[in-house]
């Protein structure tokens, strides 16, 4: 998977990571806005697909509960990611699908979770959000959103071409 990256691109990514703690992306994919109300056993959103328009590599993912973004709301907002309709990104101890809390993935500050996954047009990533706020109590709707940073193959080709001149 990563063997097709030109060495100078990896060198550039390693330099960026060492100096800033982050890696540059050439495109960002954002989930559509969604609201999720709490229920006794964890309210679920409708499935929210992300359709990639270019082949590339997903470098990192960021998520936030957009209303309060507090430690409490981030702890009670969870996500399931299913890739291509068959593969779960988060699995439980038995290998089944799992919801991962935003607080565990992203903390309460602007923390991008590193990843290195191939993305391909036609292979959607489907996000389902879970509201685990306690009930009974005042209903509190959560408004989660995910951003995926990608470096597109076409941009690597352009960088390679300009590097070879």
Note the pTM of the prediction, 2 decimals: 0.83
Give the integer Cα–Cα distance in Å for 152 and 29: 12
Q: Is the pLDDT of residue 16 over 70?
A: no
Q: Is the pLDDT of residue 5 over 60?
A: no
For the chain, percent of residues with pLDDT exceeding 70: 79
Give the integer Cα–Cα distance in Å for 66 and 73: 9
Pick the CATH number of 23-163 from 1.10.3470, 2.60.120, 1.25.40, 2.60.40: 2.60.120
Residue 99's pLDDT band (boundaries 50, 70, 90)? very high
Tens-digit pLDDT profile for residues 44-65: 999 999 999 999 989 889 998 8
Give the integer Cα–Cα distance in Å for 120 and 14: 24
What are 117's strand-pairing partners?
58
pLDDT for the residue 1: 40
Q: Return the exposure string of 116-127: e unless at least 16 CB atoms fall within 10 Å of the residue's CB, then b.
A: ebebeeeebbeb
Whether the Cβ atoms of residue 129 and residue 46 lie closer than 8 Å to each other = no
For the chain, percent of residues with pLDDT exceeding 90: 45
Of 40 and 149, more confident: 149
Of 38 and 77, more confident: 77
Instruction: Domain ranges for the chain, please list them.
Output: 23-163
Which segment of 16-30, 44-58, 88-102 scores lowest on mean pLDDT? 16-30
């Amino acid at each position: 998977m990563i063997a097709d990256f030109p060495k100078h691109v990896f060198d550039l990514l390693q330099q960026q990571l060492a100096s800033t703690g982050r890696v540059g992306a050439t495109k960002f994919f954002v989930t559509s806005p969604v609201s999720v109300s709490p229920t006794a056993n964890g309210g679920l959103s409708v499935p929210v697909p992300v359709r990639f328009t270019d082949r590339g590599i997903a470098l990192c993912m960021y998520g936030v509960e957009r209303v309060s973004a507090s430690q409490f709301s981030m702890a009670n907002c969870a996500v399931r990611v299913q890739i291509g309709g068959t593969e779960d990104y988060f699995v439980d101890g038995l290998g089944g699908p799992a919801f991962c809390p935003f607080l565990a993935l992203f903390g309460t500050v602007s923390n991008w979770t590193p990843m290195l996954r191939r993305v391909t047009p036609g292979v959607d990533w489907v996000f389902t959000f879970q509201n685990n706020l306690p009930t009974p109590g005042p209903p509190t709707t959560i408004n989660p959103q995910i951003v995926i940073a990608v470096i597109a193959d076409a941009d690597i080709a352009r960088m390679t071409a300009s590097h070879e001149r």
